[in-house]
Amino acid sequence: MTAKPIALQKLPVDLEQSRLPQHVAVIMDGNGRWAKRRGKPRIMGHQRGVDSLKDLLRCCKDWGVPALTAYAFSTENWGRPMEEVQFLMTLFERVLQRELNEMMAEDVRIRFVGNLSALPQSLQKQIEKSMKDTENNSSIQFTVATNYGGREEIIQACRAIASLVKEGSLQPEEINEAIFENHLYTQGIIHPDLLIRTSGEMRLSNFLLWQMAYAEIYVTQTLWPDFDRGEFHKALLAYQQRERRFGKV
């Protein structure tokens, strides 16, 4: 990771430590446009996007945000040109291989959520290894949504719960939010407080539909490869100005 000036490593003075989000989710949009504006192939944008993600992870750790989730590949992204999909799968695998030592050194716990069984075998192996190796790390929880779709996640949870009811180990009236959450991919991960989406689109795009019921949404026009600590600072300032009422007055 590139060295940052000391001032950017510390929590900016205009942010309150006690009111930081405990979990930030990010939709990393605009990689393709970033590359196109420079006359480069779209994949260059994804490559630069990895640098933005690494720096955001480091920044969350430096500033005291204990959980970050990134939307790396949606169930809809299979519809992209085959070369781009293949590039992304290879990129995920390469990045995981390359960064595992650093994640260990930085005490990062990585988890993947999504329908992982549909990913290339070699990527699945690398995912398993990185999750296992980092499972006792605790400085920051980093979750990567890969082949993830919020609706699909909800349906697979319903199926699992329906099976329990069918076999008689659960009564329908016993089903509650806690039981439901235990069957989501994100089991054990707290809900995001803040969703950041880059490149101006104001949609959830099937991301963490259940988990983001009360998330604050921050949309910036900045394209993902240009999203840096200064941009994250702005998002956190906006978040701290919000009044979170969770449906109360």
Give the ranges where the chain is alpha helix by DSSP (H). 6-9, 31-37, 42-63, 82-105, 121-133, 150-167, 177-181, 229-241
Question: Is 101 a known active-site residue?
Answer: no
Based on the residue annotation, tell me whether 133 is a catalytic residue of this protein: no
Residues 6+ apart with CB under 8 A from 29: 197, 198, 199, 201, 223, 224
28 binds ligand FPP (CB under 6 A): yes
Nearer to ligand FPP, 227 or 239 (CB): 227
Kindly state the smallest distance separating residue 114's Cβ from ligand FPP, in Å: 12
Give min distance, CB of 4 to ligand FPP, in A: 20
Q: Alpha carbon 29 to chain centroid distance?
A: 12
Out of 62, 77, 137, 226, the active site residue is 77
Residue 62 tokens read as: 């430096």
Residue 77 lies near ligand FPP (rule: CB under 6 A) = yes
C-beta of 59 vs 96, nearer to ligand FPP: 96
Say if CB 134 and CB 109 are below 8 A apart.
Answer: yes
Binding residue for ligand FPP (CB under 6 A) from 92, 207, 218, 232?
A: 92
> Which of 161, 220 has the CB closer to ligand FPP?
220
Distance CA 22, CA 64 (A): 8
Question: Within 10 A of 241 (CB to CB), how many other CB atoms are there?
Answer: 8
Contact 60, 68 (CB under 8 A): yes
Cα separation, 85 vs 87, in Å, equals 5
What's the min distance (Å) between Cβ of 83 and ligand FPP?
13
Q: Are 52 and 2 in contact (CB under 8 A)?
A: no
Q: How many residues bind ligand FPP (CB under 6 A)?
A: 19
CB nearer to ligand FPP: give 80 or 183.
80
Residue nearest to ligand FPP (CB): 32
Is 140 in a helix, a strand, or coil?
A: strand
The interface region with ligand FPP, picked from 24-32, 178-186, 188-196, 239-247 by CB under 6 A, is 24-32
Residue 29 binds ligand FPP, judged by CB under 6 A: yes
**Residues 143-182 contacting ligand FPP, CB under 6 A:** 144
Asked if 196 touches ligand FPP (CB under 6 A), the answer is no
Question: What are the φ/ψ torsions at residue 140 (nearest 5 degrees)?
Answer: -150, 140
In the complex, the smallest distance separating the C-beta of residue 63 from ligand FPP, rounded to whole angstroms, is 20
Residues marked as catalytic? 29, 77
Binding-site ranges for ligand FPP (CB under 6 A): 28-33, 46, 49-50, 53, 70, 72, 77, 91-92, 95-96, 144, 199
